[in-house]
Amino acid sequence: MEPFPFVVGCERSGTTLLRFMLDAHPDLAIPPESYFIVDLYRRVSRYGTEGDVDLTAMAADLRGHRWFSAWDLDLADLHSRGQSFPDAVRRIYEAYAAQHGKHRYGDKTPAFVMHLPLLARLFPEGRFVHLIRDGRDVALSLADVSWGPVTVLDAAIQWRERVERGRTAGEALGAERYREVRYERLVGEPEPVLRELAEFLGLEFDPAMLSHHERAGDRIAGGPKGIHRRAAEAPTAGIRDWRAQMSRADLEAVEAAVGDLLTELGYERAVPEPSSEARRRVRQAEGRRRRRHAWRRLKFRLGRS
């Protein structure tokens, strides 16, 4: 079975750019973000069992999934039983690829970085590409979107959680199934990075991957003014630069929260010894985040009861 690529990473780390680069390959189709694999799996009992699902019932739920509408895919022909949940998902991706004249498919859903063990078990052919970007630039970008964390510090803590979760799972998966890619290198040296990824994913490198921006504009959610509009342009470094755009107080707090991970990843530190005030801000932000997570878990359990 050919590899099933999954592009994952913290939001605002460049995963959409990488999606368009891979999708430009003549053999590979990468649809808009899915999220539904994990969502549908959580309620697989509605469709039967993991090993035997009713695809008609699953397709009915999928039509109402808010992320699936962006796929613009007709599920009218997906009717059957007697197949596993993973095979049912494969059929949906195969249909999307066929609609775009391609025979291979992949996925780009950043939040799946939190679910690598499950996806790896469901799809033994899964290959996971974890895109990692300097957490300070990610924090600036995340705090700038309406759906992101309220503060730069909260955004940096979210980056740390996602990167650490992905790296821990990736270490368990091993080099045959997990690959880390730095955003900064993807932008600065796209051809060697894409050649390496093509080999990892069992593809022949194609130059079309380097000119993805020539056809990506009509595939951006929200159109030319959408939040991913930069992904339809040729790779450009320096769009976000924490050195020029982050206040000193925020920089101290951010590095107090994620500095050890920045160092581990090889990023330079600007504040090796953050102030006590910066560390206090981190403790407060982490406390708020723990309370939010606890409340969300409680609501989820109540919703299932």
Cβ-Cβ contacts under 8 Å for 172 (sequence gap 6 or more): 117
CA–CA separation, 190 vs 162, rounded Å? 24
Identify the pLDDT of residue 296: 73
Superfamily in which the 4-30+106-238 domain is placed by CATH: P-loop containing nucleotide triphosphate hydrolases (3.40.50.300)
pLDDT at 116 over 80: yes
- Residue 147: Cβ-neighbour burial (10 angstroms; 0-12, 13-18, 19+): exposed
For residues 38-59, average pLDDT: 92
74-104 pLDDT per residue, tens: 887 776 666 899 999 999 999 999 999 999 9
pLDDT at 224 over 50: no
Query: pLDDT grade, residue 239 (50/70/90)?
Result: confident
CA–CA separation, 14 vs 169, rounded Å? 20
Q: Check residues 271 and 302 and name the one with the higher pLDDT.
A: 271
Question: What percent of the chain has a predicted confidence (pLDDT) above 90?
Answer: 75
Domain boundaries, the chain: 4-30+106-238
- Per the confidence metrics, is the pTM higher than 0.75? yes
Q: Are 104 and 4 in contact (CB under 8 A)?
A: no
For residues 39-62, average pLDDT: 92
150-207 pLDDT per residue, tens: 899 999 999 999 999 999 999 999 999 999 999 999 999 999 999 999 999 999 999 9
